[in-house]
């Protein structure tokens, strides 16, 4: 939309003015140039979460390849950046040494980075360049496990995540209170109250929910939906999704021989096979009446997990009779499709706003850290943009609507959320149409919405926050009409 272009232009202008101001200060200049370059680069999405929450698996599932984790010899992890590149390449940034190239070993389904010779705690960042379509629009960041807040209420890893990433996928196994506490602390502490929500909560390892019954993914999805409706969670995250990284990755990497083995297993009568699928042990050690040897079974278990094997055999039995069909169904069921769609709608479509926000936060830090003549004025401009830009107003309204709400009834709140871009920032998504709806229908819907919300904005019976919220919605509608008038979508 045109509005976004102006926001980015404004931020651009501010950064250049700051560069002019700090032209004698190499440190500040470096930082500002970094922010400037970041505006050009793809959106940075960090995958964060506590220990063993399935960060690397999910990253692999999104990439469709086995590239994570990059781990040291004793299992210590670093900030690993996955960027798009011409050819596979990895660079290590450490605390004491200049950047150093690392050996990348390609494997059948991905790659492995050789970290021999590095001591624990020495490495800080690893940048992996990997040619893949998934990284065209995104830079993914694999992070070390997030620990609970320390005595100052801060979590060091999460602070860095919030500083370096434009958006965050936060993984939790079961949405337990301690995870939410970390998120609350992060929201209250550091970066910008101005545009609060840039996180999505992911119930990872959804396949293990409830002991891995066949309907585990369905119930996990229900759980996610219920959490999403909870205002305490809604205030923290744009969306709550259930996703099994393991099943999703298996779907994306499923090979012909694996499918053949699964098909072979599926031929065994169901009651008979079930006895072998009772436990991982039984599946490995037992001798099912199918021509699948132990090594193959171990590989299947490794790829799919016990739940995945159960699901896949059921799927094969119920009609997924080819590798592509099974693979698509596994991906669909794993929740990966939904996750990618959500990322695309809520993060990528809004990337200009998210990047502008990161840049403004970075600029504000520089201005506050090194005050000088003219920095106060720039700080004022920064705050004016953060407070005044319509995109941020939309984000704030969205957060309020998701959290405590404004006191609108559910239907109105849902409409307001849709119109300000809570379900995606495309015109069709905002107006609740399929994305190929004709322009005149969109025009009509937008104009109607504008009139309705204009009335609400002027309604003296509503409370002031509600009228303010309605004004923001009206402004969004006007923006849409302007875009339509200019012939854009």
Partner 1 sequence: MVAGIWLDVLDEIGRTCQAYGRGDLLQTVRRKRVQLLDPTLRVLVVGEPKQGKSQLVNAIVNAPVCPVGDGATTVLPTVVGYAEAPVATVVEDPAAVRPAVGPAPASAERTPVPLDRIAAGVAGTFGRHAGGGPAYVEIGLPRDLLKAGLVLVDTPGTDEVTAIGAGVPAAALARADTVLLVSDSTRELSVAELNMLLHVTRSHPNVVVVQTRTDLVPDWRAVAERNRKHLAEAGVPAPLIPVSAALRLRAAATDDRTLNAESGFPALIARLRRDLAGKPDSLARAAVGLTARTVLEQLAAPLRAELESREAEKDSGPISRLHAAQREVDELRRCSTRWQNTLADEMTDLISDLEYDLRDRTREILRTVDEAFDSADPLTAWDTFQEWLDRSLVEAAEANREWLVQRCDWVARRVASHFARYGHDVLPPWSAVVPEHLADWLPEMERPRVDRFTATQKVMTGMKGSYGGLLMFGLALTLAGMPMINPVSIGAGALFGGKSIHDESRQLLRRRQSTVKAAVQRHVDDFFVRATRDRRDTARQVQRMLRDHFAVLTEELQEGIIRSLRSAKAAADTDAAARDQRQREIRLKMTRLAALYEQAQQLAVGRPASVPLERLT
Question: By the criterion CB under 8 A, which residues form the site for partner 1?
Answer: 51-52, 173-174, 176, 178, 205, 208-212, 216, 219-220, 222-223, 226, 278-284, 298, 301-302, 305-307
Whose structure tokens read 């004698």? 24
d(CA 411, CA 422): 14
H or E element, residue 43: strand 43-48
In the bound state with partner 1, the residue whose beta carbon lies nearer, of 92 and 300, is 300
Q: How far is the CB of 283 from partner 1 (least distance, A)?
A: 8
Q: How far is the CB of 114 from partner 1 (least distance, A)?
A: 25
In the bound state with partner 1, the residue whose beta carbon lies nearer, of 284 and 328, is 284
In the bound state with partner 1, the residue whose beta carbon lies nearer, of 35 and 208, is 208
Two structure tokens written together for 474: 């009206």
In the three-class reduction of DSSP (H, G, I as helix; E, B as strand; rest coil), residue 135 is classed as helix
In the bound state with partner 1, the residue whose beta carbon lies nearer, of 300 and 449, is 300
d(CA 451, CA 474): 8
| 52-66 CB burial, b ≥16 within 10 A, e <16 | ebbbbbbbbbbbbbb
In the bound state with partner 1, the residue whose beta carbon lies nearer, of 191 and 334, is 334
Q: How far is the CB of 235 from partner 1 (least distance, A)?
A: 21
Please measure the distance between the N-terminal and C-terminal CA atoms of the chain and give it in whole angstroms.
8
Give how far Cα 102 sits from Cα of 82, 113, 196, Å: 14, 7, 37
Q: How far is the CB of 210 from partner 1 (least distance, A)?
A: 5
Q: How far is the CB of 186 from partner 1 (least distance, A)?
A: 19
**Strand pairing report for 111-114 and 100-106:** antiparallel
H or E element, residue 160: helix 156-164
Q: How far is the CB of 301 from partner 1 (least distance, A)?
A: 5
Q: How far is the CB of 56 from partner 1 (least distance, A)?
A: 14
Q: How far is the CB of 273 from partner 1 (least distance, A)?
A: 14
Q: How far is the CB of 209 from partner 1 (least distance, A)?
A: 5
DSSP 368-424: HHS--TTHHHHHHHHHHHHHH-HHHHHHHHHHHHHTT--S--HHHHHHHHHHTTTT-
In the bound state with partner 1, the residue whose beta carbon lies nearer, of 176 and 435, is 176
Whose structure tokens read 């970041």? 38
Q: How far is the CB of 47 from partner 1 (least distance, A)?
A: 18
In the bound state with partner 1, the residue whose beta carbon lies nearer, of 4 and 207, is 207
DSSP conformation class of 89: E
In the bound state with partner 1, the residue whose beta carbon lies nearer, of 50 and 64, is 50
In the bound state with partner 1, the residue whose beta carbon lies nearer, of 119 and 282, is 282
Which residues fall within 8 angstroms of residue 327, CB to CB, at 6 or more apart? 251, 252, 254, 259
Question: From its phi and psi, is residue 64 left (phi > 0), alpha (psi between -120 and 50) or beta?
Answer: left
Which residues fall within 8 angstroms of residue 94, CB to CB, at 6 or more apart? 100, 118, 122, 123, 124
In total, the chain counts a number of residues equal to 489
d(CA 134, CA 84): 8
In the bound state with partner 1, the residue whose beta carbon lies nearer, of 282 and 435, is 282
In the bound state with partner 1, the residue whose beta carbon lies nearer, of 72 and 212, is 212
d(CA 351, CA 54): 25
Q: How far is the CB of 282 from partner 1 (least distance, A)?
A: 8
């Amino acid at each position: 939309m045109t509005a976004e272009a102006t926001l980015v232009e404004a931020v651009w202008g501010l950064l250049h003015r700051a560069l002019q101001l700090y032209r004698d200060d190499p440190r500040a200049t470096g930082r500002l140039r970094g922010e400037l370059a970041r505006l050009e680069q793809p959106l940075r999405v960090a995958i964060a979460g506590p220990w063993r929450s399935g960060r690397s698996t999910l990253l692999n599932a999104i990439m469709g390849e086995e590239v994570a984790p990059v781990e040291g010899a004793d299992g210590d992890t670093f900030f690993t950046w996955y960027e798009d590149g011409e050819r596979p390449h990895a660079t290590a940034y450490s605390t004491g040494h200049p950047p150093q190239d690392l050996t990348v070993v390609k494997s059948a389904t991905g790659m492995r980075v050789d970290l021999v010779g590095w001591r624990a705690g020495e490495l800080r960042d690893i940048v992996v360049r990997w040619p893949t379509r998934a990284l065209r629009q995104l830079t993914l960041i694999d992070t070390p496990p997030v620990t609970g807040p320390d005595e100052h209420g801060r979590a060091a890893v999460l602070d860095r995540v919030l500083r370096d990433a434009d958006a965050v996928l936060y993984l939790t196994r079961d949405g337990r209170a301690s995870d939410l506490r970390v998120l609350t602390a992060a929201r209250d502490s550091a970066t910008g109250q101005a545009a609060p929500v840039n996180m999505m909560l992911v119930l990872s390892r959804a396949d293990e929910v409830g002991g891995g019954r066949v309907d585990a993914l369905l119930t996990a999805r229900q759980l996610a939906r219920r959490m999403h409706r909870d205002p305490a969670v809604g205030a923290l995250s744009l969306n709550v999704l259930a996703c099994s990284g393991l099943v999703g990755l298996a779907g994306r990497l499923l090979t012909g021989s694996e499918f053949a083995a699964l098909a072979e297993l599926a031929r065994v009568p169901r009651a008979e096979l079930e006895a072998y699928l009772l436990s991982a042990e039984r599946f490995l050690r037992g001798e099912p009446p199918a021509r699948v040897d132990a090594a193959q079974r171990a590989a299947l278990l490794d790829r799919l997990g016990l739940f995945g094997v159960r699901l896949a055999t059921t799927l094969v039995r119920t009609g997924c009779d080819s590798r592509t069909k099974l693979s698509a169904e596994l991906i669909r069921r794993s929740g990966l499709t939904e996750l990618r769609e959500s990322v695309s709608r809520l993060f990528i479509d809004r990337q200009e706003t998210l990047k502008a926000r990161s840049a403004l936060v970075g600029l504000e830090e520089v201005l506050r850290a090194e005050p000088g003549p003219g920095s106060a004025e720039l700080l004022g401009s920064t705050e004016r943009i953060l407070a005044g830009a319509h995109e941020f107003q939309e984000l704030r309204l969205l957060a309020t609507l998701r959290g405590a709400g404004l006191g609108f009834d559910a239907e109105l709140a849902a409409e307001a959320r849709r119109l300000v871009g809570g379900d995606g920032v495309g015109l069709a998504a905002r107006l609740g149409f399929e994305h190929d709806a004709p322009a005149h229908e969109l025009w009509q819907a937008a104009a109607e919405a504008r009139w309705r919300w204009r009335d609400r904005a002027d309604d003296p019976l509503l409370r002031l926050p509600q009228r303010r919220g309605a004004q923001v919605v009206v402004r969004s509608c006007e923006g849409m009409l302007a875009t339509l008038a200019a012939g854009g979508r």
